[in-house]
């Protein structure tokens, strides 16, 4: 998979989790997520290989630093935790989980191998609803850990145009900022918020602004406004938005449901009937996102891009 096509897909519960990962730790984890989602079967025993050459190409890292960064980040990641909103016996709850269960270093191959925690696996695989997706390339050039976190949080609201109102303390928690860090609002804005907003606006496909709300003189809440940047007209079929007709959706969902390669990529549920499996595929093909993501499989079962998609 090349640098431009890697997709990060996370359940919103993971997007909204509170954690404190460094820039390199976030880069490693996001790359591992994109690698993991390409595997047909994913469990805590599944090895997720992240190679230094892949890391270097994705994030434009110097050759001499790539494996060193990977090894150090995976070592730290083994000790990291995140907390997320959960439920227990129909009661609201907060759960704390680790990112990985085990890490293996393969120095001779310039590679680290991660074994993801079961909670992370459930939050990145076979998601049907309440998830956020974006291309990894959009955050590949970001150099602040806070920029990546803010981009992820805002990606959830791109289609709405603005976020909900966030209490300041919640934003600090989502960024993993300790109670003794950036205590003053001016420091927080300078070192975290404005830095992230400016970098996102400069280097990604969206623009972000925020509005402040006060109680007296104290800023208590922030609301973010998000917009997609205007881009040049797509110059290739892979850049074009492709909508299938209802007839095409029915035809290709049936063909994909019987295609072995596709079955390995998007597996049927245990006990799911062929008809229900095809219906679930059809539901996905309504979304141009999945049409584009599954284009190689669609073409393998007979889909041909028309001229309007090639210009």
Instruction: Give residue-wise pLDDT tens across range 229-256.
Output: 876 544 444 455 677 888 899 999 999 9
- What is the mean predicted confidence (pLDDT) over 58-82? 93
Span 116-131, mean pLDDT?
85
Class of CATH domain 1-137: mainly alpha
Compute the average pLDDT of residues 17-34. Answer: 94
Hey, where are the domains in the chain?
1-137, 141-231, 246-309
Fold match, 1-137 / 141-231: yes
Angle of CA points 207, 128, 159, to nearest 5°? 20
Categorize the per-residue pLDDT at 148 as very low, low, confident or very high, splitting at 50, 70 and 90: very high
Do 46 and 87 contact (CB within 8 A), yes or no? no
Q: Percent of the chain scored above 90 by pLDDT? A: 63
Low-confidence winner among 175-179, 296-300, 302-306 (lowest mean pLDDT): 302-306
Q: What is the pLDDT of residues 156-210, one digit of tens each?
A: 998 889 999 999 999 999 999 988 899 999 999 999 999 999 999 999 999 999 9
Apex 279 CA angle, 277 and 282, nearest 5: 115
Per CATH, the number for 141-231 is: 1.10.10.10
CA distance 95 to 80: 14
The two three-digit tokens of residue 103, written as one number: 């890490």
């Amino acid at each position: 998979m090349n640098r431009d096509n890697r997709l990060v897909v996370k359940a919103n519960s993971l997007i909204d989790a509170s954690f404190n990962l460094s820039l390199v730790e976030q880069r490693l984890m996001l790359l591992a997520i994109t690698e993991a989602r390409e595997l047909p079967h994913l469990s805590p025993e599944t090895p997720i290989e992240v190679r230094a050459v892949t890391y270097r190409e994705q994030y434009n890292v110097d050759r001499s630093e790539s494996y060193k960064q990977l090894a150090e980040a995976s070592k730290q990641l083994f000790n990291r935790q995140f907390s997320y909103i959960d439920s227990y016996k129909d009661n609201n709850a907060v759960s704390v989980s680790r990112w990985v269960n085990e890490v293996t270093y393969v120095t001779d191959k310039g590679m680290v191998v991660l074994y993801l925690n079961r909670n992370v696996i459930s939050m990145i695989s076979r998601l049907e609803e309440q998830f956020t997706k974006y291309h990894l390339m959009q955050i590949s050039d970001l150099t602040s850990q806070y920029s990546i976190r803010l981009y992820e949080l805002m990606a959830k609201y791109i289609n709405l145009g603005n976020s909900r109102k966030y209490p300041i303390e919640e934003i600090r928690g989502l960024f993993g900022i300790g109670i003794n860090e950036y205590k003053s609002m001016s420091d927080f804005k300078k070192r975290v918020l404005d830095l992230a907003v400016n970098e996102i606006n400069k280097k990604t496909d969206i623009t972000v602004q925020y509005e402040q709300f006060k109680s007296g003189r104290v800023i208590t809440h922030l609301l973010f406004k998000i917009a997609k940047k205007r881009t040049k007209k797509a110059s290739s079929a892979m850049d074009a938005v492709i909508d299938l007709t209802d007839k095409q959706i029915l035809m290709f969902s049936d063909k994909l449901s019987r295609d072995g390669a596709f079955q390995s990529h998007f597996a049927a549920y245990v006990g799911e009937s062929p008809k229900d499996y095809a219906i679930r595929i059809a539901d996905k093909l309504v979304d141009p996102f999945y049409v584009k993501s599954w284009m190689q499989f669609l073409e393998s079962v007979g889909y041909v891009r028309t001229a309007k998609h090639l210009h």
